[in-house]
Amino acid sequence: MRNLAPYSFFNAFSYAPPLIGFASTDRKHTARNAELSGEFTWNLVTRALTEQMNATSTTADTDEFVAAGLEAAESVDISAPRVAASPVSFECRVSDVIALRGADGQAFTGVLTIGEVVAVHIDEAMIAGGVYQTALAHPVLRAGGPSAYFEILAEGRFDLIRPR
């Protein structure tokens, strides 16, 4: 069954190999599917896709592309599909599934799934001067509380040079 879900416990962990991962509070469909199939795709949520993203957060056991009204796109290196309307997607092969523990060493139901990015898809309209332009995609961030989100806009940008 094709599955989709939003995961805000998400991050990148390494440049080479390029590793990304997400944490699930328990072995939900996404974590289970990734572990069993050995692959997953990550798809950027944009402002235009927020309603559909929210729709995929149900626990329903249905094809969540169909349920959310999202078209799937075939991946090139793995069999898990991508979200066609997302301007940035990564195809990943699972490299680690880590059972999470508290500081007391006690395992709980949480699991961190890490994957190596084996293919990257970026809509060329998001690239200027050879550099991905974050604000062009209008990505969204989950914020505090049960309902708050922020849209990333060009006017929120500032630049910083790292100290040597």
Ligand X SMILES: Cc1cc2nc3c(=O)[nH]c(=O)nc-3n(C[C@H](O)[C@H](O)[C@H](O)COP(=O)(O)O)c2cc1C
Q: Looking at the chain, list the stretches that DSSP marks H as alpha helix, in order from N- to C-terminal side.
A: 29-37, 50-55, 64-68
Q: Which residues from 135-164 bind ligand X, rule CB under 6 A? A: 142
The answer to whether 79 contacts ligand X (rule: CB under 6 A) is no
Among 15, 16, 36, 59, binds ligand X (CB under 6 A): 59
The answer to whether 6 contacts ligand X (rule: CB under 6 A) is yes
Question: Is 98 strand, coil or helix?
Answer: strand
Q: Are 85 and 71 in contact (CB under 8 A)?
A: yes
Nearer residue to ligand X within complex by CB, 58 or 133: 58
Distances (CA, A) of 60 to 10, 49, 103, 112, 152: 22, 19, 33, 22, 30
The answer to whether 57 contacts ligand X (rule: CB under 6 A) is yes
**Phi, psi (rounded to 5 degrees) for 90:** -120, 135
Candidates 5-13, 67-75, 118-126, 130-138; binding stretch for ligand X (CB under 6 A): 5-13
The answer to whether 133 contacts ligand X (rule: CB under 6 A) is no
Nearest approach in angstroms of CB 22 to ligand X is 6
The answer to whether 108 contacts ligand X (rule: CB under 6 A) is no
Q: Is 45 exposed, middle or buried (0-12, 13-18, 19+ CB in 10 A)?
A: buried
Per CB under 6 A, residues contacting ligand X are 3, 5-9, 23-25, 28-30, 54, 57-59, 142
